[in-house]
């Protein structure tokens, strides 16, 4: 073989070796991603590990969150988890989002001790989530309460008239798709929405009566939409104690028989079942100033991930 042929052959071997390494790396990455998505984490092969207290964060707007509900279901059957702390820092959200989370926490509490630590804010549906636990602990200056329901709609008909836009509709009945943002509310629309809001409000009040052990008159007095500091909440029996995780540990150990000194481990939902890829997606969206909680690029660009449909139980501080 001449010198040129030997050189070409060596180059070919180097290229093949490079692409073999690339193929091995891609295959290894795919295997790691699949095992991570299936629930495997480093250290799990070594055994179940020591007992622990799980901490679950409920922050921001509360909506129907299948991933968080699945996490709570897993914690219920995890033998290592001796108790769960729900850390709430939320102004509320949709009534259905609060309801599903409330029911999931009550289901979890039937299996093991569950307590809530209120951070800055647990209002409206956020407070609904907190009172689903068996012990509500807030800080002195936390904000709790805002018990109630709201349905908001926009009447942009005057604005549309000024710019010369007319929106027409053919409806099967007068109350279909009412209230509409394109015209004043049809007769009976406000009464219809009022009945809907009042029904959900009565349900919310019944939850407060049941979970906080309050007579109906007292529960309705507190359920006028008012917010309270943690200290005021304690005086009004909306909160069980002031403090933080130390106070929760004391309660778990002295009253619920949880062993002392257990490590508190943060447990997070596995978004979309993609594990590592979901975390990378969130980090990438955040890097470019987009919504890191969005499930895809369209939601991230439009901000539709934070859109709330239907009735909400949400506290908003007054704007000046």
85, 140: one domain: yes
Considering only CA atoms, give the Rg of the chain: 26
In a domain, 317, yes or no: no
- For 145-160, what is each residue's pLDDT tens digit? 999 998 888 888 888 8
- For 209-248, what is each residue's pLDDT tens digit? 999 999 999 999 999 999 999 999 999 999 999 999 999 9
Residue that wins the pLDDT comparison between 258 and 35: 258
52, 127: one domain: yes
In a domain, 303, yes or no: yes
249, 130: one domain: yes
pTM: 0.74
pLDDT at 190 over 80: yes
139, 160: one domain: no
In a domain, 318, yes or no: no
Of all helices (H) and strands (E), which one includes residue 238?
none
- Predicted local distance difference test score (pLDDT) of residue 295: 55
205, 87: one domain: no
In a domain, 40, yes or no: no
| Non-local CB neighbours of 164 within 8 Å, separated by 6+ positions | none
73, 129: one domain: yes
Average pLDDT in the 2-17 region? 67
- Predicted local distance difference test score (pLDDT) of residue 216: 96
Looking up residue 161, the CATH number of its domain turns out to be: 3.40.1750.10
Quote the number of domains for the chain. 4
201, 248: one domain: no
- Predicted local distance difference test score (pLDDT) of residue 304: 43
DSSP 8-state code for residue 136: E
In a domain, 244, yes or no: yes
Domain residues for the domain of 26 are 6-35
Looking up residue 127, the CATH number of its domain turns out to be: 3.90.226.10
Of all helices (H) and strands (E), which one includes residue 116?
strand 114-123
In a domain, 219, yes or no: no
Residue that wins the pLDDT comparison between 294 and 243: 243
- For 73-123, what is each residue's pLDDT tens digit? 999 999 999 999 999 999 999 999 999 999 999 999 999 999 999 999 999
pLDDT at 299 over 60: no
In a domain, 221, yes or no: no
Average pLDDT taken over every residue of the chain: 82
Q: CA-CA distance, 196 to 21, in Å (whole number)?
A: 63
pLDDT at 205 over 90: yes
In a domain, 42, yes or no: no
139, 235: one domain: yes
Task: Assign 306 a pLDDT band (cuts: 50, 70, 90).
Answer: very low
Task: Assign 305 a pLDDT band (cuts: 50, 70, 90).
Answer: very low
Distance spanning both ends of the chain, measured CA to CA? 86
pLDDT at 22 over 90: no
- Predicted local distance difference test score (pLDDT) of residue 43: 46
Cβ count near 83 (within 10 Å): 26
Task: Assign 175 a pLDDT band (cuts: 50, 70, 90).
Answer: confident
Question: Which residues participate in catalysis according to the annotation?
Answer: 124, 176
Label residue 2 exposed, middle or buried (CB < 10 Å: 0-12, 13-18, 19+).
exposed
pLDDT at 45 over 50: no
Q: CA-CA distance, 312 to 320, in Å (whole number)?
A: 23
pLDDT at 60 over 50: yes
Which segments of 95-233 are extended strands (E)? Answer: 114-123, 136-138, 143-145, 227-229
52, 139: one domain: yes
Share of the chain above pLDDT 90, in %: 53
- Predicted local distance difference test score (pLDDT) of residue 292: 56
88, 28: one domain: no
SS3 percent helix, strand, coil of the chain, rounded to 5, is 45, 15, 35
240, 183: one domain: no
Q: CA-CA distance, 93 to 62, in Å (whole number)?
A: 4
Pair of tokens at residue 98: 């609060």
127, 195: one domain: no
């Amino acid at each position: 073989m001449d010198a040129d042929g030997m050189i070409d052959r060596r180059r070919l071997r180097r290229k093949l070796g490079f692409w073999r390494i690339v193929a091995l790396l891609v295959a290894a990455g795919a295997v790691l991603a699949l095992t991570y998505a299936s629930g495997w984490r480093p250290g799990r092969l070594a055994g179940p590990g020591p007992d622990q207290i799980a901490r679950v964060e409920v922050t921001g707007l509360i909506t129907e969150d299948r991933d968080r509900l699945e996490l709570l279901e897993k914690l219920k059957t995890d033998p290592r988890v001796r108790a769960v702390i729900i850390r709430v820092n939320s102004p509320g959200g949709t009534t259905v989002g609060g309801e599903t989370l409330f029911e999931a926490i009550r289901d979890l509490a039937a299996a093991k001790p569950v307590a809530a630590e209120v951070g800055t804010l647990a209002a409206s549906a956020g407070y609904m989530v907190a009172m689903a636990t068996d012990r509500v602990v807030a800080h002195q200056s936390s904000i709790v309460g805002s018990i109630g329901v709201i349905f908001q709609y926009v009447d942009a008909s005057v604005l549309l008239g000024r710019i010369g836009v007319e929106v027409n509709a053919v409806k099967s009945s007068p109350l279909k798709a009412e209230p509409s943002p394109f015209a004043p509310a049809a007769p009976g629309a406000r009464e219809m929405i009022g009945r809907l809001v009042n029904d959900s409000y009565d349900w919310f009040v019944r939850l407060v009566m049941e979970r906080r052990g309050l007579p109906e008159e007292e529960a309705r007095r507190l359920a006028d939409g008012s917010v309270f500091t943690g200290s005021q909440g304690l005086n009004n029996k909306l909160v069980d104690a002031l403090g933080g995780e130390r106070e929760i540990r004391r309660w778990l150990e002295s009253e619920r028989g949880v062993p002392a000194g257990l490590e508190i481990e943060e447990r997070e939902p596995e978004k979309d079942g993609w594990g590592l890829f979901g975390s990378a997606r969130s980090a990438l969206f955040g890097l470019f100033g987009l919504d890191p909680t969005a499930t895809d690029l369209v939601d991230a660009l439009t901000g539709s991930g934070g859109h709330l449909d239907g009735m909400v139980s949400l506290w908003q501080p007054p704007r000046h």
